[in-house]
Amino acid sequence: MKNFFLSIGLAFLPFTAFAADLIEVYNQAQISDPTFQQAVAQRLSTKEGVPISVASLLPNFNVTANPSVSRTGYAGSNFVATTPVTPGFLAPRNLTERDYTLSLNATQTIFNFAQFSTVAQQIALSKGADATLNAALQDLMIRVANAYFAVLQDEENLIYNEANKVANAEQLEQVKQQYNVGLKTVTDVYTAQAAYDTAVSNFIQAQTTLANDRENLRVITGKYYPQLSSLKDDFPLVNPTPANIETWVDVAQKQNWSVRAAQYQSSSQRQIIRQQFAGHLPTVQLQGSISRQYNDNINRYITFTERVGPGTTSNKTIGLNINVPLFSGGGVTASTNQAVYNYQSALQAQELTLRNTINATRQSYLNVVAGISKVGADKQAIKSNISSLEGLEASYRVGTGTLVDVLNQQQKLFQAQTQYATDRYAFVNNYLALKQAAGTLSFTDLCALNKWLTNKKPALIRTRKKSEVLDYNYPGIATKQDKKEVA
């Protein structure tokens, strides 16, 4: 029995000790995220283009063998060969001849401008694949962090929604009690009921949003996380270092991985122009071969009248294959022009990527700086709304205030609390976005951010304690017993 109650107790222990942190979730995402794994496979595929293109410039060897057997028949009667080895030897009706040729062929490119340009193109694409993978890795960090902190924000909003629902429920109960003793009108009851119904609707929506964002995190990691480490309430709100927006922009122009990938892409398009233009240029190839032919007449006859033994013939050749294009119907010129236009398009795409990166860097920097002030202002707004709510409640108790004023102020407090949660996580996400735009986001940044997390839930600023909400000295419910019944 003792073990039974111990098991029951363990079953109801909080799960915070088993909460996953940001690094654990990120490591899982690296393995399971299909988008990132697709980028890894694409990089490996693209890099194979380099040895494939280089292979066309290296010597090419091949061996060919051509065995054959031929048989010649004679329809007449037997006759004696003119030169038999043994007097009186009868020549056969059928002559069988075996023949095979074994040759070794080698080719070596001496000059082929298209192949040279293809190698340069594949090298540019290979470097671009590395840059694209680095950009995909940073994108994975951002997506994991955004999904992770979206869940944390939803959890805080759910707590605020629950506190708001409880407060409205208690307010509704009090109004009903006062209505029953004739202190409030039915309009007050309807007003309190409407506020409570709205709070219930918001609470249900908060539950749904939390469930959806948990599933969004599962899409990235392939794993469901019922508990996540929370963001500390006193995490450091640090300014970007260096505290100069232009310095961040300069770094982004040089180190942003998406910009570098776009640069390599335009470089590869420029090499395609050379590939197409190579259709006007000659190609030179060195060719050589060594062959040996073996011939044997099984019957030792070349013809029905001439007898001969087996023989071997060797042949060696070496030379240049020069191909000079003269006219291709204008196709080479058109292909070259098309490649030029594609290159110009790639340059515009590169410029667009650069401008978007600069814009993202500036916005992220400004958002981080502004976020510090916003979080501080949100804290003060919560304190001010609590004070205002307490004042309105006091006025309502003595009859100088209205229930509508109290409910409106309670809603303002709820909005201030949710805005505080929103701005806290927006600051973290903007901080990571700034690092990503500059191209400096790394695993070290996630480790530093992970230190801001804790297994303990943050000390959220709640509306009021239940006892404080019910501590009203209304006529008719002045005794403790009445307050318990209301509760």
How far from 118 is each of 332, 338, 407, CA to CA, in Å?
Answer: 16, 17, 72
- For residue 177, being part of any structural domain is answered with yes
Helices 245-255, 403-438: inter-axial angle, 10-degree rounding: 50
- 118 and 210 in one domain? yes
Name which of 15, 12, 13, 8 is nearest 457 in CA terms: 15
Higher pLDDT, 193 or 309: 193
- 314 and 414 in one domain? no
- 358 and 233 in one domain? yes
- 374 and 295 in one domain? no
**CA–centroid distance for 423 within its chain:** 25
Environment class of 242 (CB within 10 Å of its CB; exposed 0-12, middle 13-18, buried 19+): exposed
Quickly tell me which residue has 């958002």 as its tokens.
367
Mean pLDDT of 383-408: 87
Query: Looking at residue 18, what is its pLDDT?
Result: 76
Task: Kindly report, residue by residue over 413-459, the tens digit of the pLDDT.
Answer: 999 999 999 999 999 999 999 999 999 999 999 999 999 999 876 55
Mean pLDDT of 324-341: 93
- 297 and 265 in one domain? no
- 150 and 215 in one domain? yes
Task: Kindly report, residue by residue over 53-109, the tens digit of the pLDDT.
Answer: 999 999 999 988 888 776 665 554 444 444 444 454 445 555 667 777 889 999 999
245: its two tokens: 């927006």
- 441 and 386 in one domain? yes
- For residue 454, being part of any structural domain is answered with yes
Query: Strand runs (DSSP E) across 215-354, as ranges?
Result: 230-231, 283-297, 311-323
Name which of 198, 213, 133 is nearest 168 in CA terms: 198
Query: Looking at residue 2, what is its pLDDT?
Result: 39
Query: Looking at residue 457, what is its pLDDT?
Result: 66
Query: Looking at residue 483, what is its pLDDT?
Result: 34
Query: Looking at residue 10, what is its pLDDT?
Result: 33
Range of the domain at 74: 64-109+283-324
- The 94-111 sheet, strands edge to edge: 60-73, 94-111, 283-297, 311-323
Q: What gap in Å lies between CA 81 and CA 160, rounded to an integer?
A: 116
Q: What gap in Å lies between CA 358 and CA 253, rounded to an integer?
A: 7
Contacts of 38 (CB under 8 A, 6+ apart): none
Q: Say if residue 248's pLDDT is above 60.
A: yes
* Neighbour count for residue 93 (Cβ, 10 Å): 14
Q: Is 101 strand, coil or helix?
A: strand
Per-residue pLDDT band at 218 (split at 50, 70, 90): very high
- 296 and 243 in one domain? no
The domain total for the chain is 2
Per-residue pLDDT band at 304 (split at 50, 70, 90): very low
Query: Looking at residue 279, what is its pLDDT?
Result: 92
Query: Looking at residue 430, what is its pLDDT?
Result: 96
End-to-end Cα spacing for the chain = 35
Helices 113-180, 34-47: inter-axial angle, 10-degree rounding: 170
Task: Kindly report, residue by residue over 172-184, the tens digit of the pLDDT.
Answer: 998 899 889 888 8
Task: Kindly report, residue by residue over 475-486, the tens digit of the pLDDT.
Answer: 222 233 333 333
Per-residue pLDDT band at 197 (split at 50, 70, 90): very high
Average pLDDT, the chain: 83
Mean pLDDT of 355-367: 97
- 125 and 104 in one domain? no
- For residue 319, being part of any structural domain is answered with yes
Percent of the chain exceeding pLDDT 90 equals 62
Query: Looking at residue 106, what is its pLDDT?
Result: 92
Q: Say if residue 397's pLDDT is above 60.
A: yes
- 395 and 276 in one domain? yes
- For residue 361, being part of any structural domain is answered with yes
Q: Name the amino acid, one letter, at 254.
A: K
Query: Looking at residue 293, what is its pLDDT?
Result: 81
The answer to whether 225 and 217 are in contact (CB under 8 A) is yes
Query: Looking at residue 459, what is its pLDDT?
Result: 52
Task: Kindly report, residue by residue over 19-37, the tens digit of the pLDDT.
Answer: 899 999 999 999 999 999 9
- For residue 204, being part of any structural domain is answered with yes
- 247 and 150 in one domain? yes
- For residue 263, being part of any structural domain is answered with yes
- 393 and 316 in one domain? no
pTM for this predicted structure: 0.80
Task: Kindly report, residue by residue over 98-151, the tens digit of the pLDDT.
Answer: 777 889 999 999 999 999 999 999 999 999 999 999 999 999 999 999 999 999
Per-residue pLDDT band at 193 (split at 50, 70, 90): very high
Per-residue pLDDT band at 303 (split at 50, 70, 90): very low
